[in-house]
Structure 1
Amino acid sequence: MNNKSCCAILLAAGKSTRFNYKIKKQFCKVYNKTLLEHNLDVFSSIKFVKYIIVVVAKEDLSVAKKFCEKYKKNIVIIEGGKERYNSVYNAVKIIPDNKFKYILIHDVARPLVTKKLINKCLANIKNYDCVIPGIPP
């Protein structure tokens, strides 16, 4: 990737209905960190990611802010929509015009994403219009 900065959209507005627990899964802790924090750790460590948009439900805005404060990257927290695509749309709408060549979209409920996997996607994006990672079973 030729020094092109990108924006990461981290989707965390889900209701966790199927998870059926008192805490939404994006705020559950695994190894002493919430799933949101695990994702922020990875995306904030990637040098090409200059801007992170965290999308959460309206009732979770203040909780998300608490978890995002410790990160040095430019992080914006916004309200999600009724469905996933509405949340993505809300995030894309606030990306500054012509500032980022690439947009990364990731679901916070999938905390096992690695810096290596994201960098592999970024390395391959120049060859394709879109890159989606897949990990075989």
Structure 2
Amino acid sequence: MDHAIIVAGGKGLRMGGEIPKQFLKLQGLPILMHTINRFREYSPELDIILVLPVDQQDYWHELCRKHSFDVKVRIANGGDTRYQSVRNGLELIDDDPQGVVGVHDGVRPLLTVDLIERCFAGARKYDMCIPVVPVVDTLYHVGKGNVQRADYRLVQTPQCFPLRVMLKAYGQPFSEAFTDDASVCSAFANSETHIDGEPTNIKITRPVDMAFADAILKGGLNIPVC
């Protein structure tokens, strides 16, 4: 069985408002609902686990009632770190030797079903499937000068893994080196692949990202996904 752990623990400080960014509205619907809808479009049978801080869960349920949002998800408590949040989500999943898990940022609502399909398919073939996009800006290493941007990629989500890999990886103690799920799982994956991500699969962090996302959802920007 496929599982999606959608992590939504942001406070939205860079947005300059009091409402956590995952609850801000795009086209009349909270960002997080757009994200969940896209995963449900991928598969009606997908087990979706939403990881939210405890103090945001009542507000989430209130939003679901307000928007008549009845997509089935299970709720896990957010942790102090992303590592702990994902680990809490994993605790809701029964061990399954054939299971595949995708972890996705709740504030990346613009991904396509095609990207989800390719990530899950990659995880069935390899032990790790990560979407990446090229770096287009010049990179500068402080104190050392410019570096070759062709040697680097920007990492996106969903990052997908066999459940057996995830369970082993998230059984280890937390480390400051864990910057994403790939860094947690790398020691337990026998093989990995990086696939083409999507330039529109942005993580909404700043007000300008909201404007970009709104234009995409309106169909006002015709940008190829790869």
Q: State the TM-score, normalized to the length of structure 2.
A: 0.53
Distance 1:99 1:50 in 2: 16
Whichever residue aligns with residue 46 of structure 1, its letter is Y
Q: Are positions 1:63 and 2:59 aligned together?
A: yes
**Bigger radius of gyration:** 2
- RMSD of the alignment, in Å? 2.0
Equivalent pairs: percent with the same residue? 33
Runs of 4+, deviation exceeding 6 Å:
none
Distance 1:23-1:91 versus aligned 2 partners, 3 A rule = same
Which residue of structure 1 lines up, in the alignment, with residue 83 of structure 2? 85
Q: State the TM-score, normalized to the length of structure 1.
A: 0.85
Whichever residue aligns with residue 104 of structure 1, its letter is G
Per-residue deviation, 1:16:
1.9
Aligned residue pairs, count: 131
8 Å contact from structure 1 (residues 7, 100) kept in 2: no
Which residue of structure 2 lines up, in the alignment, with residue 9 of structure 1? 5
Mind listing any 5+ residue stretches in structure 1 that lack a counterpart?
Answer: none
Distance 1:118-1:49 versus aligned 2 partners, 3 A rule = farther
SS in structure 2 at match of 1:106: strand
8 Å contact from structure 1 (residues 13, 80) kept in 2: yes
8 Å contact from structure 1 (residues 65, 77) kept in 2: no
Per-residue deviation, 1:83:
1.1
Match of 2:24 among 28, 42, 48: 28
Mind listing any 5+ residue stretches in structure 2 that lack a counterpart?
Answer: 137-226
Which residue of structure 1 lines up, in the alignment, with residue 36 of structure 2? 40
